[in-house]
């Protein structure tokens, strides 16, 4: 009886074990879900604040320029200017000069350095008054320097020069207004053609043989939609023979120059009266009122803009600056018997698409 009971219990154990091994559990298994890393939150790009109106930038502030001892006729300064230049409609430059006021009317200018070529560009020229400051002008002399947008941006080196020969000199201030708005073309680039403008006596000799190269070939980029020539020119000297009224060259003799394009007269430049007696800086301490040939003491030298009817996109053209014929007889009684024209010419190209500079070839 006991043996049968043991046998039954053994058989029952086998049956239960087999049942457990073959059973199927359909209940859900609690398996941990995979950890998915969260994507980093990327903030929306910060947009530059929209600019409207006029933004002013100070550069030189009553910088002394003088001659003798440790004093210099020029000064340089590095400044920070806007980088969103495509949104700028125009740039105006203002030059003020305070006393001590040198007694003579002399050549003066402002330049900017092209960071790529390290070449200085003349962006404005003026003649100092005889011993008077610029206080009759609220902001000083005004210059439109929009043509130089492509270099008046970011970190910029500026230079001022005044051909003063006294230790009194001048205190020169320069500031720039960046006027935001829709420009005529979004992109522009500027290239020097001629720059014989180191000072009044380093210009092109007039009425005599010289080795100055006044003819260049200019290659215009393919996408140019507008091309123009920017010129500043002023004459010095009391060379003879005089014109009627005792007008020596090149300060007093009225002349008509020509810019030639492909050897044809294209743009006349009349160097005649511009109204010296109407100068707001009156009662100067010298011979300020009589008309010079294209400039006046205490005024900006005019900037001449000549727009090509055909922008010459993707083409080359020949540029030449031609003086009206005249021969210096070297008989002047002045200490300097020569006549000089200090000149700068630039070619400016514009487009609605990014544009490279025109290239100038000798």
Mind telling me the catalytic residues? 105, 163, 251
Note the Cα 110 to chain centre separation in Å. Answer: 11
Distance, in Å, from the CA atom of 167 to the CA atom of 170, rounded to the nearest integer, reads: 9
The CB-side HSE value for 191 (13 A sphere, CA atoms) comes to 19
**Structure-token match 């990014």, residue found:** 354
Cβ-contact 216, 362 below 8 angstroms: yes
Cβ-contact 149, 308 below 8 angstroms: no
Distance, in Å, from the CA atom of 31 to the CA atom of 309, rounded to the nearest integer, reads: 80
Q: How many CB atoms lie within 10 A of CB 297?
A: 24
């Amino acid at each position: 009886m006991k043996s049968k009971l043991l046998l039954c219990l053994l058989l029952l154990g086998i049956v239960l074990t087999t049942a457990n091994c073959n059973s199927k559990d359909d209940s859900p298994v609690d398996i941990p879900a995979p950890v998915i890393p969260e994507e980093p939150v990327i903030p929306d790009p910060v947009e530059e604040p929209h600019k409207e109106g006029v933004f002013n930038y100070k550069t030189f502030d009553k910088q002394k320029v003088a001659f003798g001892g440790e004093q210099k006729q020029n000064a340089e300064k590095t400044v920070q200017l806007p980088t969103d230049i495509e949104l700028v409609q125009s740039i105006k430059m203002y030059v003020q000069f305070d006393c001590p006021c040198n007694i003579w009317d002399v050549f003066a200018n402002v330049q900017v350095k092209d960071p790529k070529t390290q070449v200085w560009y003349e962006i404005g020229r003026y003649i100092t008054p005889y011993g008077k400051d610029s206080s009759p002008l609220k902001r000083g002399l005004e210059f439109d320097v929009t043509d130089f947008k492509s270099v008046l941006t970011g970190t910029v080196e500026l230079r001022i020069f005044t051909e003063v020969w006294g230790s009194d000199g001048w205190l020169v201030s320069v500031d720039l207004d960046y006027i935001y708005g829709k420009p005529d073309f979004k992109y522009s680039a500027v290239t020097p053609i001629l720059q014989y403008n180191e000072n009044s006596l380093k210009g092109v000799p007039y009425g005599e043989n010289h080795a100055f190269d006044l003819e260049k070939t200019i290659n215009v980029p393919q996408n140019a939609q507008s091309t123009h020539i920017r010129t500043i020119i002023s004459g010095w000297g009391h060379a003879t023979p005089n014109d009627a009224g005792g007008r020596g060259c090149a300060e007093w003799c009225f002349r008509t120059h020509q810019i030639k394009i492909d050897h044809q007269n294209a743009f006349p430049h009349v160097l005649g009266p511009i109204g010296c007696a109407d100068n707001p800086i009156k009662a100067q301490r010298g011979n300020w009122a009589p008309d010079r040939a294209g400039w006046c003491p205490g005024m900006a030298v005019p900037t001449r803009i000549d727009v090509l009817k055909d922008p010459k996109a993707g083409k080359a053209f020949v540029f030449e600056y031609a003086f009206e014929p005249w021969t210096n007889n070297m008989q002047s009684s002045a200490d300097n018997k020569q006549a000089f024209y200090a000149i700068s010419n630039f070619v400016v190209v514009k487009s609605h698409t990014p544009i490279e500079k025109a290239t100038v070839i000798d």
